[in-house]
Amino acid sequence: NVDESVIVINNSSWESLKCGMNQYIKNVLLFLHAPYVKYLYNVYSHIIFLMLFSYVILFDFFPIYDFISDKCLPSIEELHDSRISINNAQKRSFSNRSTNAIKNKLIAKTSNLFQTT
């Protein structure tokens, strides 16, 4: 009972193929230089470049809208500093007015004292 459905034409086809290192490198280079593989590498590298570029533009640079606004309006720091200086000036002027008022009262009292004596 021999099964004759399989016909073997070449017995050497079942032997393992022994390729040298040169043939392996040639096959790899043939694969890498195939047009479809080149296209895929180009697409992938372009997508990676766009992602890195957009990351650098969006996150690594200083803000785009960081322009000098002091020409039209004072900055927040200057407003804060000017409020402090205005408060200090008001305190100084109030203290100057109060000391001047005290001095004027003292001068008036002393002049009244000298006039009455």
Six token digits for residue 21: 């290192």
The structural domains of the chain, with segments of one domain joined by +, span 13-65, 67-117
Query: Does the pTM of the predicted model rise above 0.75?
Result: no
Among the listed residues 18, 57, 14, 47, the one whose alpha carbon sits nearest the alpha carbon of residue 6: 14
Q: What is the mean pLDDT of residues 5-23?
A: 63
48, pLDDT greater than 80? yes
- What pLDDT score was predicted for residue 36? 92
Query: In this model, does residue 28 exceed pLDDT 70?
Result: yes
Measured distance CA(47)–CA(41) in Å, rounded: 10
**Cα 92 off chain centre by:** 45
The C-alpha atoms of residue 102 and residue 107 are separated, in whole angstroms, by: 9
How is residue 71 written in tokens?
């020409």
Mean pLDDT, rounded, of the chain: 72
In a 3-state reduction of DSSP, which class is residue 15? coil
With a cut of 90, say whether residue 19 has pLDDT above it. no
**Angstrom distances, CA of residue 93 to CA of 34, 61, 79, 86:** 86, 47, 20, 10
Q: Which secondary-structure segment (H or E) carries 95?
A: helix 76-116
